[in-house]
Structure 1
């Protein structure tokens, strides 16, 4: 169908003309579905008048809500919905409208229902559906029902929303007051939370710095204090803060555990050192006892020398092993050197005897006195040692007697008696070797003593011999199975190919030691050969390993030699400022390296061990010297800290100097153990006293600051209660300002900021009131000049109407101020040389506009040019300074008095405005 025909036959409500569509709406029946659809389509028409007409025919809220879903911003549609839901149109009861409100989500619609609803319950339901805070603020400020305003204000929670409420809710003071209170609480909570967060952050920074700090005597106490302070905080930390706290705590605990480990290691080292010292002591005592026992015997035999040699070798090996691990004490080393000297003396004496023993035996057999004499003299046998039997016989032969003298026999018998007692004590203790050796000596000496004198002791010697035989049998009874077990064990060890060479050597050495410890108890040739054969097989098997061990010993020897050379170079040129802690570290590292390079060749172990022992002794001496210097320096710091307490200076300066002393303390290193703790406690006590003095002074300043705050609060309250009654009361305000200036500076904080704002507001208000009072007084003085003005107006009327020149006499203006007197004279002169009426009218208008600016602060649009001109005049009148409002009012009134001549008609047109403006100026602000 052509386009014109489709338009011709189309329904009227679809006509292109909006007026025809609007006329068609009246013919549509909403009850008919097809026409209802047409009405719904017209509700969304492009023309606003068509939309309004269509919406007026629809009373179904559900239909309108469906249309809102399609066009949510159409104002006519929202207006119709608001009219139906609020009860302005339609016939819906309250319960239905409440149900509709409960289903609406459109915030614009809900806001309008809350503002325009005809029922409080309906408005409250709409407010409850609102969620945007700006909508709630609008309801709290603009709604006409107090309960709705309060309900909306109660749901505003943000700081920005509460601040808007406090500023804009002027129609409801309760809402404004509650908003201010909640805003203050919110800010206080935020400030408290920020302070707590800042305090927690400060604690975290201290804890992290503490975790990075080295250990000191109060390290653990400070860590516990920081942890307690962290746990005492009321707020909860965030995840990052908690993670930082845990990391810092782990660092602190690691520092403490490392220190405890070092302390345990030092304690273990001390214990091992003490055990080594005890082992050295026991070895020295054993060799000393052997050396001391030699002079007590009657004769010295090769068995005694062999036993002494084996004991010395054992002592030397054990001593060297202990010296590799621990530094030898100086006293023990001197004692060791003295014992070695005695041993060497005995050994050299015996070697000289052995060199001439064959000559002595040959001379004894040949009875060659001359050769015997030269051989005995060549032996140089000392008197403190008992001679060997050949030398004894030689001496007797040379002395010409076969038997000792009576005195010698008595001495030998007394010594024989003492040795019997010693033998009994040895048997009581079960010392078989010593008892056997002493018993053999007693038996040999018994053969050389007279039988008559020896008879009382024979029974005791036999009894002790029987006890020794019983002890020998018991050892044999015990040692027999033990020897069999050792043979079986060494056979199994020789055939065991599954163990390492090192373990094989260790177990072999242990079995050899156990075999030697048995001595001659239950010894037999068969078992000895069996044990020796197995031992030889093990030696053959370990030969390559021993070669590798020998090479390793050489390398270890070279490493130890290099270590000794490095330490000697260090000791030859030590640094003057060497840190004792660094030297201690070098000592410990050297000890560890010495232990790693072990073992070394046995023939050189003693020499290199003594060299390292001397080096360690010298290094320890250097450490002690530097530690003593550190102790002296720290003692000086302690004296300086005590001197700081006595000096008169600001507490903050004293505290900063104490911190500098603490920094120097940390840089010095450690003093000797024991003295370091003592000095630290004394230094810490002095520093604590210095910081306590600073805190006390800060508390005094804080107390003074609080007192100034309290005084300022009293001043604010006093000035707030004072209201000036005349402009001359300005001196009271100036005195209060001077008092407030004297209380400065006030401590920073929220309270101070609040007091400053309140003080500024009160001062500004009082200044404004004083200024208004000055204006009121000017206006009141002007009222006293009104008779003079009326006289001038009468004279102006006579001159203008009757051409009669009349001057107001000077006696009428006798009480005028100087400026008003000049204005009075200008008014009289104006009648003699009058300006035009237009100029007078313009001047009156300018004065009216100027007074309007002073009274209301604004002028009408057509007076805008005059306002600009007046601004220029005000600047000229002020001569570069700001004029007060009272001064400007006085200038206007003075110029009003000087302006003339004024006709009665002109004055009648202006006097009402002038009186109104002056009356406005006399209104005082509320107190």
Structure 2
């Protein structure tokens, strides 16, 4: 039998294609529609199955989803290639749940290959049980039983194997003692056991195979030779007695267990007198083994405790060494704790262990270093705290704007830090603090300078604006204020500061000159204003004769306003002119009182109307009739503008109410319109998205896109209107994409119809040409291939689809119906063959139980010939029947070979015994006889003959002439000779002649 394959190199199982092969969705439509895939498809999605198969080799093994998808490909070879590379057990389980029966063996084999790899790669005590429990193949279990790194995994695999031949192959490999013993316990075939007695990998396994063969023989012959059993028990007792002196308790216990097992098989009732010796030795060996085990355990525990003791001491040394240079505040506390732990640990273990001198010295040195360093650390700490305080004060000065003081303190601190020696604290943190303080000071100085420049620029800009003012008093006052502000600013000696100072001097000088000029011009302006006000007084006085009171009132009000705008007049004329103007205005105001009263009543009515308008607007503010209400509010606003003004405060209050109501309505209307616009915008985006998806589908058309385009049309109708200016454009865009696709679909369906009609013609031709005596398997394969092509073609036009399908199906159904009838007839013949083979198997089992004689062997060979002449049985049982018959025949002929081998061994042993007796006889008689047959035919070696001669000479020393002793010895030799069985035929005659010559020499001595 060939050796077992490695568990991960499983035998490939043949998977047949079928008409019902599962279909596969080529791509996830929704993912493709959303643009998640690139326009160019990968090769594993190519329409050509050969391209897809070739692409599988280049896919990353981690792409489980792709392999799982390819595992459902329409092409059988693509599915097989994908399954062969799929490395995920869960994904394979999902494929197995959907697979056809003929594909299931390949998937199951791949799953078990991966599970076996997990078991073989597992080095932990746990983690392999779940994977092993899912494996059902005996061949895979046999590989695990022979190769798994964990002995418990090998043992568990053996427990699940029932095939004795596989178990024998496991034992022939180095599987370990326990798995080999478990496997041998399940093997009962004598031929297999005989083979294992010679070819098993381990000595223990070979010995156990021999023990089991002996047990089987003993069960077959319960009334065996008691003397042989007794002799074997004596030998076992002697060997057990020697084990009592064996210095290796482990080896003694193992061998003693084997002796007890064999003793139990030979003497289950313990009747042999040597059992007391065996029992006594067993107790002695077991006590020695227990004592040795206990010593070993205690030694291991003590070594482990010492390792923990030393490891803890080393940890304390490391801790104190680290603390000797530590600058943390809790370092003394931690050091004291480490010293206390050291002393407590030594005290707790002083009865068993003591620290090594190097560790004790290391800890003492670390403690001294810690004490010596503490004073220096504390001194440095005070310096560090002082410098940190300096940096804090510098930060406070910078924050308070005292930049010069901050710069001085920073320079002093930098010098101090440069002269400070630090051995335990790092200067890097101070360097960082110094850099941060310098950077902060620079930033503050830059900001202060920028503020100074900005203020100086602002003063100059304001002086430039002030030059355009025509008010001398304001100019003079502001010029003094800006001059004081300039003087308060810090001095800037750089180029930009000097430039601004020059600009300031220029502007202030120009403004001073302008003020002098304006004061001179102001005197001339007073006399010009006097002329204007006298003319205005004449105009008001002329109104005394005007009859239109409204005109009089408006004219007086306008004159008063113009009077204020003219400006001052010379002081000598100011009061007189004002009294005359005030008197003229007062006279005309008295004349307009009736007009003012009438105007007052109009204003009251207008205010009442305004209140009504406010009420109406408040009611309309919550209206939802947007167009009509907007028109009404606009009319109310227009009416409001035509009403006379009332009291300013009350009118303004009413106006705010009216305005708030109007704003409320128009804000609501705007919000409504914005909502409509946003909704239409969202609808437009949705329709544009549908357009893009439709264009993508039309750009790369496929048959399965039709359903999606119909869904897009339905979704289009449900979306609703979009902005009117874009509605027609987006509709035409969507319709164009749909038209493009469905025009392509119509052409594709016509092409599909043409190709399907071609397949119909091919199927009709194949069925018409099929002959009963022809190769119908080939025709069946061609029809299956046509069916596969039919699936791949795609739909025909709906009005022709059913008719062309029925045309194609008719010859296929006709052929496969006839084919099924042939298969049924073949199955009937196979069942008859099964009955015939079962009868042959029963006869073979009967012959195998008779024995190993030549006649039985000839009859079994005749049965083998009849077996091979009989045709195959039904597939589910054909292999099982063949295996059973083959195993029975192999076992019989292996047992027959073993029988002759054992017989030859026994005859050679008998030859050796007889040669030993001849040699003893010759030594006693003092004969020198050359062995018959030459040196090559001897069973005894020359060393054995010398040893025998020395023993005989020693035993007969001084007694060679005592006739009675010699006579008794010769009689014992004759009795032993008669008990010895036959020897090899080619040596029997020579040995007998040698024996007879020796006896003749004793009983018929020559007188000469």
Taking structure 2 as the reference length, the TM-score comes to 0.24
Taking structure 1 as the reference length, the TM-score comes to 0.25
